[in-house]
Structure 1
């Protein structure tokens, strides 16, 4: 693969050229735009850490894509350990969503990345704290959130900041304000991590047609008492 950068007075575009066929689905999955024979992601000119992100992008985007394509394993556990160490140590207001939020409960799923929801005021701080792995600088997002960033700490780490009511429209999600109002704390490898309610993640998984995941969640719920404690193992 080759990489190019195209700057204008308004934006900076990171381009990938000559993408192998096996990686094209991963490029699409990571929301790159197919334009005139290359794939691109664009950021406003003057975005903080733009120069550093460009250098890191060229170094880490291929292993990132290989993981997203299922060609290489995703070392999500050491990546999450590093996220906890850096963000908790800095007092960042964040919580974990997606499949990783199930995995830290002990549900046997393999996350493809780490999805973080952070407070509006902390979105840029996360970019600072993950600077050595930053492949997309924290930039405004015209979406359900105000900010978006992406880094690679062995595994892909993506975060959104300033999530608003649009996240729960037209249906409630496990990453919007409804989930944020009902967060639960779990202990994982010595860290306390906030995650969405398991019931809500089940609802979202069922809506998405993830039957196997729903079954895994139901198994976990049967092993848990109404008070939230695991039942003792049988001898």
Structure 2
């Protein structure tokens, strides 16, 4: 796998090429665009700390893609612990969703990344706190499912998204939408108080997406808790 960066008018292009075909689905999952030379993502040149991000991306992207494909160990506990520690004295309003949110309750799943939701007002603060760990700037999605999106790599990929759009909850609520945001629960994990969506939402999402083994584990956990 090779990585290079290109300049185009007001943009910086991240390019991944000469890769094993097994990574193709991973690039697509991460919304990279395909052209005749590989896969790309574009970012504005003015993004703060972009030079640092390019260096860190160059160093860590191969491992990140290996983790996303389960070709390498995913130390999500280590990454989440560091994330919590670095935000302890901040004013960032954040919550955890995705598989890790179920895992910290005790559900045995295998996350390949960490999914964090924040308020858009916290973008500047979280950018400063994680300036040495960002690999993709937290910038406007210009109308996607969240207002902003960016990526940290800190032993594991950490996706940062802000202000989930109402359309996420159509036709029914998901574990990262406005309904989840209004109904967050608190889980004590390794001494940290972490906000997470209701487990029922996570069951519904996995069931709907055909992730039946995950849904089965979540359902079994919920039923055991009732006893």
Q: TM-score, normalised by structure 1?
A: 0.91
Which residue does the alignment assign to 2:113? 113
Listed as ranges, the matches of 1:77-226 within 5 Å are 77-142=77-142, 143-225=144-226
Q: Give secondary structure in 2 for the equivalent of 1:214.
A: helix
* Contact persistence 1:48–1:138 (CA under 8 A): no
- Mapped to 1, the partners of 2:171 and 2:74 lie a distance apart of 32
Render the CA deviation track for 1:113-155: whole Å, top value 9, x for unaligned: 0000001101232222222221111111030111111011111
* Contact persistence 1:127–1:149 (CA under 8 A): no
- Structure 1 residue 168, shift from structure 2 partner: 1.8
Q: Give secondary structure in 1 for the equivalent of 2:73.
A: coil
Which residue does the alignment assign to 2:41? 41
- Structure 1 residue 157, shift from structure 2 partner: 0.3
- Structure 1 residue 80, shift from structure 2 partner: 0.3
- Mapped to 2, the partners of 1:2 and 1:110 lie a distance apart of 27
* Contact persistence 1:120–1:163 (CA under 8 A): no
Correspondence 1:24 to 2:37: no
Query: Which has more radius of gyration?
Result: 1
- Mapped to 2, the partners of 1:179 and 1:16 lie a distance apart of 35
Q: Give secondary structure in 2 for the equivalent of 1:221.
A: helix
Task: Please list every run of 5 or more consecutive structure 2 residues that lacks an aligned counterpart in the other structure.
Answer: none
Higher mean displacement: 6-15 or 112-121: 6-15
- Mapped to 2, the partners of 1:209 and 1:20 lie a distance apart of 27
- Structure 1 residue 17, shift from structure 2 partner: 1.7
Q: Give secondary structure in 2 for the equivalent of 1:88.
A: coil
- Structure 1 residue 87, shift from structure 2 partner: 1.9
- Mapped to 2, the partners of 1:164 and 1:29 lie a distance apart of 20
* Aligned-CA RMSD value: 1.4
- Mapped to 1, the partners of 2:98 and 2:61 lie a distance apart of 21
Render the CA deviation track for 1:9-68: whole Å, top value 9, x for unaligned: 321111112112232222222221111222111012211121111111111101101111
* Contact persistence 1:119–1:161 (CA under 8 A): yes
- Mapped to 2, the partners of 1:72 and 1:180 lie a distance apart of 32
- Structure 1 residue 97, shift from structure 2 partner: 0.4
